[in-house]
Amino acid sequence: MSKIKPSKGAPYARILGVGGYRPTRVVPNEVILETIDSSDEWIRSRSGIETRHWANDEETVAAMSIEASGKAIADAGISAEQIGGVIVSTVSHFKQTPAVATEIADKLGTNKAAAFDISAGCAGFGYGLTLAKGMIVEGSAEYVLVIGVERLSDLTDLEDRATAFLFGDGAGAVVVGPSPEPAIGPTVWGSEGDKSDTIKQTVAWTEYDSSKDKFPAITQEGQAVFRWAVFEMAKVAQQALDAAGISPADLDVFIPHQANERIIDSMVKTLKLPEHVTVARDVRTTGNTSAASIPLAMERLLATGEAKSGDTALVIGFGAGLVYAATVVTLP
Ligand SMILES: CC(C)(COP(=O)(O)OP(=O)(O)OC[C@H]1O[C@@H](n2cnc3c(N)ncnc32)[C@H](O)[C@@H]1OP(=O)(O)O)[C@@H](O)C(=O)NCCC(=O)NCCS
């Protein structure tokens, strides 16, 4: 028989606060047209994107994360010392080690919180949220900060017509903590590594030769990704609703990964979401910010009053890997 005492965690977990940081520089489609042969009309009609934000030198992955996290902590009504875990999801922090999460945990003033980075592309927020929920229910932390942060402008080839207009920068953060009732549903998540070539870095860092190669960037097979997102991710979203035991009519809000407005429209149609469901369309002015996109969109919906605290929301992220994660949450 085991001599180990069972862990004592909270019965359930909930998102208690959210915060976002959008870089000060707003970049309209006209700037993208300086380097690719396209048009504002084409970009808007194919992706829904009108503007995005690009970070300056001071708006580092850590700096943006600290800004977003400060807002999330204030929104949750707790202090930084109460945070027992900091999870940072990013693919655009260029220093391999140490994890940027440790610097963020320190600068925020946590009391030596456990801190680590994860790499799960555009599903990173859902992956982080699932880990945070586990930590709280298992009892290894009372409050966990989940941060999605990207400087994708550093990994964008501005001469690539398939991606130059898509990506943006920013940080979104949530505080996850104890709850007396279920407020984060079961996560439906997974990976399809057989499709790893459809979204990838052009050149590995070890193979990159600055004398002949362009700086590494994210490249993708646009149509293949589009088809996968439209057909497969609607199924995953439905599975997350089923796992939470609710129907589309029970939803108040839908916050899909902000990759492309046509993908969002298609998912809304396939899921047969009723008119009353508020759909996040933050992609129009934020572009695709990968791991940051869901918390940023969540923050904006709450700030504008389009969604309110206590609403039931379906969130789904999907992207490079390919990976995905969907769950139903109660909004903070
Ligand atoms: C990137 C995306 C908008 C491109 O749209 P698309 O309809 O697939 O575009 P295609 O590459 O098939 O090209 C269609 C036509 O538009 C043209 N085109 C491609 N890029 C263009 C651009 N930036 N501006 C203008 N025309 C463009 C092509 O030359 C082609 O012209 P043709 O029909 O005369 O040959 C689309 O594939 C997409 O949204 N994919 C998913 C992207 C995504 O969300 N990725 C992240 C997931 S996490």
Per-residue b or e along 268-277, where b marks 16 or more CB atoms closer than 10 Å to that residue's CB = beebebeeeb
Q: Report the chain (332 residues): mean pLDDT per 10 consecutive residues.
A: 92 98 98 97 97 98 98 98 98 95 98 97 98 97 98 97 96 98 98 96 93 94 93 97 97 98 96 97 98 98 98 97 97 98
Q: What is the Å distance from ligand 1's center to 226 Cα? A: 10
Q: Which CATH architecture does the domain made up of 12-179 adopt?
A: 3-Layer(aba) Sandwich (3.40)
Q: What is the Å distance from ligand 1's center to 214 Cα? A: 22
- The pLDDT assigned to 269 comes to 96
Q: Which CATH superfamily is domain 188-330 in?
A: Thiolase/Chalcone synthase (3.40.47.10)
- The pLDDT assigned to 129 comes to 98
- The pLDDT assigned to 69 comes to 98
For residues 275 and 316, what is the distance between their CA atoms, to the nearest angstrom?
Answer: 19
Give the residue numbers marked as catalytic.
Answer: 122, 257, 288
Amino acid of residue 109: G
Q: What does pTM read for this prediction?
A: 0.96
Domain layout of the chain by residue ranges: 12-179, 188-330
- The pLDDT assigned to 194 comes to 97
- The pLDDT assigned to 169 comes to 98
- The pLDDT assigned to 243 comes to 98
Angle, CA of 96, 101 and 106, to the nearest 5°: 125
How deeply is 30 buried, as exposed, middle or buried, from its count of CB atoms within 10 A (0-12, 13-18, 19+)? exposed
- The pLDDT assigned to 122 comes to 97
- The pLDDT assigned to 92 comes to 96
Question: Is any ligand 1 atom within 6 A of the Cβ of residue 49?
Answer: no
Question: Is any ligand 1 atom within 6 A of the Cβ of residue 219?
Answer: no
Angle, CA of 75, 77 and 79, to the nearest 5°: 110
Write phi, then psi, for 99 (nearest 5 degrees).
Answer: -60, 140
**Topology match between the domains 12-179 and 188-330:** yes
